[in-house]
Amino acid sequence: MQTSARLKCIDARCGLEYPIKTASVHCKNGHFLDVLYDDAPDDSLKETFLHRRDHGSSIFDESGVWRFRELINFAQIDTEDADACARTLVSLDGAEGRQSRPYHMRRAAEFAGMNPEGLFLQPEGYNPSGSFKDNGMVTAATHARMLGVTKIVCASTGNTSASAGMFAANEGIECDVYIPEGMIAPGKLSQAYQFGAQIIHVDGNFDDALKRSLDAAKTGGAYTVNSINPFRIEGQKTIPFRALEYLGWEAPDWIVYPGGALGNTSSCGKALSELYEWGWIKKIPRIAVINAEGASTLSDMYNGAGLRWNAGRPDMGLIEEHYAKMDAEGRLPDTRATAIKIGRPANMIKALRALELSNGCVITVSDSEMLDAMSVVGLNGFDCEMASGASLAGIKKLVGDGVISPDDTVVGILTGRQKDPTLPVEYHENPANAFARPPRS
Ligand SMILES: *Cc1c(COP(=O)(O)O)cnc(C)c1O
């Protein structure tokens, strides 16, 4: 199936459009862009996607991202033409998204106080570079290939750089990564080195690193692969696609994500909005975003300041005021969950749209709640990192608060695999921790 696609500004007052082969992540007035498709895909494709799981020799059917290629066909190719796919679509031989889907986890359900039949957790850490980032990086790398780009650039709390480095190595292009020095998990840093990326140390936090990388992209003509890139968002839509497919396209009551730069939240909102508009799902699940207590900008803005999407005209003054206050007080994001240690979430506006669409909510959890949840995920035979623990910790809190009912159907996204091996060791060596099993001799 072939379709036509374009880029459109998300701001209701602006609405500028650009051709798909545009490298900029902003419209000329500085607003973010969406990829829009002109044709509604037919829901008979549900059968096609299912058949592709028995993929034969096609890496594009095997890929958990490209299996859904009709729904993200920004490359505007004939998706049944194997040569066109091979020429155009980047893939790590079908590995991206291949192993992630929702799983039942009994111990996790017990922990959260839910009916075990209703709780699913989806380990996106089982992607080739160990996090959900591969879902969106493979599509951003595809767009970079369409533009003939020779260098990609990103700022990273770790997993973005691992994923970008991996796909850049696979494509034989350069990759520069801006990293807040000393603040990323050793397992992530070592991946970026191993994939041959150029590390650039930034004296500051992730927000400073993002600013530096965007400046470098602007002056050096490199291609930005942070989640403000709308093609990242397209690939990450396959996370809810896979969840929904495994649920027979019956929408769950809730989808729950940790909130960092909010690319995931944004992509989930866009996916649900499109599926609903096309009639593929009959209801829109509620999205819950879980912030760390010490990095809670979205929660502060949404719950504290009452910031809303407001039909595409959010009150930008509220955000500027908040950031000015954070700066004046010298308030920096503070959590050991480095993947969500972000003070200025770059995708906040698109995330507000997702919350509006889905009647969503935002809450915060503490570091110790995340560590407990991370450890409980382990007791089910799955592994995840501390930031991913936010999903399960958040579900537990929302059940406790009566927002999620114990009999609801909930999909929590476990965003990444454990890459800081010191954390579980430290957790279990301290008998004071709720799920610790201390060593003995
Ligand atoms: C990047 C990342 C996040 C944050 O995701 P956003 O889309 O930026 O909100 C959470 N967990 C892990 C493991 C990550 O790598």
Give me the pLDDT at residue 1, please.
62
Q: Domains of the chain by range and CATH?
A: 106-126+232-429 (3.40.50.1100)
Residue 185: pLDDT band with limits 50, 70, 90: confident
For ligand 1, the distance from its centroid to the CA atom of residue 152, given in whole angstroms, is 19
| Minimum CA distance residue for ligand 1 atom 8 | 261
Average pLDDT, the chain: 95
The ligand 1 atom nearest the CA atom of 385? 13
Give me the pLDDT at residue 2, please.
67
pLDDT in tens, 338-356: 999 999 999 999 999 999 9
Mean pLDDT for 162-189 is 93
Would you say residue 379 has pLDDT above 80? yes
Helix 367-378 vs helix 386-400: angle between axes, to the nearest 10 degrees? 100
Which percentage of the chain shows pLDDT scores above 70? 100
Say if strands 103-104 and 410-414 run parallel, antiparallel, or are unpaired.
Answer: unpaired
Beta bridge partners of 364: 291
Q: Given CA atoms 44, 49, 55, 58 in this order, what sign does their dihedral have? A: positive
Nearest to 97 by CA among 86, 105, 89: 89
Would you say residue 34 has pLDDT above 70? yes
Residues with CB under 6 A from ligand 1: 131, 133, 159, 227, 258-264, 339-340, 385, 387-388, 415-416
Beta bridge partners of 9: 33
| Minimum CA distance residue for ligand 1 atom 5 | 260
Residue 438: pLDDT band with limits 50, 70, 90: very high
For ligand 1, the distance from its centroid to the CA atom of residue 173, given in whole angstroms, is 24
Neighbours of 23 (CB within 10 A): 15
Mutate which of 264, 265, 349 for ligand 1? The one with the most ligand atoms within 8 Å of its CB, which is 264
Q: What is the DSSP string of 338-398?
A: GGG--SS-TTHHHHHHHHHHHT-EEEEE-HHHHHHHHHHHHTTT----HHHHHHHHHHHHH
List the alpha helices (DSSP H) in 6-79: 45-52, 59-62
Beta bridge partners of 224: 153
Exposure string over 212-249, b if 16+ CB within 10 A, otherwise e: bbbebbeeeebbbbbbbbbbbbbbbbbbbbbbbbebee
Mean pLDDT for 197-221 is 90
Would you say residue 181 has pLDDT above 90? no
Alpha-carbon Rg for the chain in angstroms: 20
For ligand 1, the distance from its centroid to the CA atom of residue 9, given in whole angstroms, is 24
Beta bridge partners of 195: none
pLDDT in tens, 279-315: 999 999 999 999 999 999 999 999 999 999 999 999 9
Neighbours of 379 (CB within 10 A): 15
The ligand 1 atom nearest the CA atom of 260? 9
The ligand 1 atom nearest the CA atom of 124? 13
Distance CA(123)–CA(241), nearest Å, equals 14
Per the CB < 8 A criterion, the answer to whether 202 and 178 are in contact is: yes
Residue 323: pLDDT band with limits 50, 70, 90: very high
pLDDT in tens, 241-261: 999 999 999 999 999 999 999
Would you say residue 3 has pLDDT above 80? no
For ligand 1, the distance from its centroid to the CA atom of residue 197, given in whole angstroms, is 20
Mean pLDDT for 51-78 is 95
